[in-house]
């Protein structure tokens, strides 16, 4: 069974666009879990343009499923994660001005840095995941960092799938198989949607978790949040 973790960044974006507290981020997180969502993901950035650092603290008492905090491990982010101790931290090599995540880690070039950061999280019993492109050498590098899991960066798959190129899933399947052989858990995320999630899941061996935000919230505008969460759960079975 592949778990669905719902990224609620877009809810924070909508709230911040008008000030105040509508929509209520904590209420949405609670509702998503009541609707069957198996995790909540947030990705605070230094400029706090959507999720604020205070949101991360406030959500700690609300998230009773899996709590996944994504981000670039700058000192402020590391401090946040160590204070909150979420279920999982997903390390993403975001530039400060990045609109959204747009590349995975080079786990070979950044091995020593990642080892240092991951060991600190491991000492605090926080599961670690590294955001990576679908390259087998990055799986091997991830193993050497001591990470518990990798998260496959799926934008390229989603783009090609939309064009009808089903072969685009192959490098992801190969990387997942290698990760399984290396005893690294496999997560995935970025541009996964109701259109492509079933095909992706069926072709990725040992897929433990998907983190979906932008598409899920956009689809919910037409179909309703509770309905969409359950549509994803159905496709992931």
Q: Which residue has the tokens 């899941």?
A: 201
From 43, 151, 209, 219, the catalytic residue: 43
109, two tokens? 């070039």
Spatial separation of the C-alpha atoms in residues 181 and 196, rounded to whole Å? 26
With vertex at residue 39, the alpha carbon angle to CA 192 and CA 213, rounded to the nearest 5 degrees, is 30
* DSSP count for the chain of H helices, then E strands: 11, 8
Work out the angle between the directed axes of helices 136-145 and 170-181 (0-180°, nearest 10).
Answer: 30
28, two tokens? 């949405």
70 is known as an active-site residue:
yes
The DSSP symbol for 168 reads G
Spatial separation of the C-alpha atoms in residues 93 and 73, rounded to whole Å? 8
46-83: burial string, b at 16+ Cβ within 10 Å, e else:
eeeebbbbebbeebeeebebbbbbbbbbeeebbebbee
Q: Is the peptide bond before 196 cis (omega within 30 degrees of 0)?
A: no
From 50, 66, 151, 190, the catalytic residue: 190
79 is known as an active-site residue:
no
From 70, 151, 209, 219, the catalytic residue: 70
Catalytic amino acids? 43, 70, 190
């Amino acid at each position: 069974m592949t778990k669905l973790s719902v990224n609620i960044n877009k809810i924070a974006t909508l709230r911040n666009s008008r000030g105040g507290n509508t929509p209520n981020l904590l209420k949405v997180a609670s509702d998503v879990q009541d609707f069957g969502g198996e995790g909540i993901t947030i990705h605070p950035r230094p400029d706090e343009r959507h999720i604020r650092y205070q949101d991360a603290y406030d959500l700690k008492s609300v998230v009773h499923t899996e709590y996944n905090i994504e981000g670039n491990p700058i000192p402020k982010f590391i401090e946040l994660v160590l204070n909150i101790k979420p279920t999982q931290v997903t390390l993403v090599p975001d530039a400060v001005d990045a609109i959204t995540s747009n590349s995975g880690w080079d786990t070979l070039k950044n091995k020593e840095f990642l080892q240092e950061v991951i060991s600190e999280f491991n000492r605090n019993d926080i599961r670690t995941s590294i955001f990576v492109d679908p390259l087998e050498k990055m799986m091997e590098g991830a193993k050497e960092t001591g990470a518990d899991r990798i998260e496959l960066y799926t934008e390229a798959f989603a783009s090609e799938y939309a064009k009808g190129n089903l072969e685009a899933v192959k490098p992801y399947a190969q990387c997942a198989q290698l990760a399984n052989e290396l005893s690294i858990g496999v997560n995935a995320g970025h541009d996964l949607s109701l259109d492509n999630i079933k095909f992706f899941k069926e072709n990725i061996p040992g897929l433990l978790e998907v983190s979906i935000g932008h598409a899920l919230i956009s689809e919910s505008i037409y179909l309703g949040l509770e309905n969409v969460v359950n549509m994803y759960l159905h496709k992931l079975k």
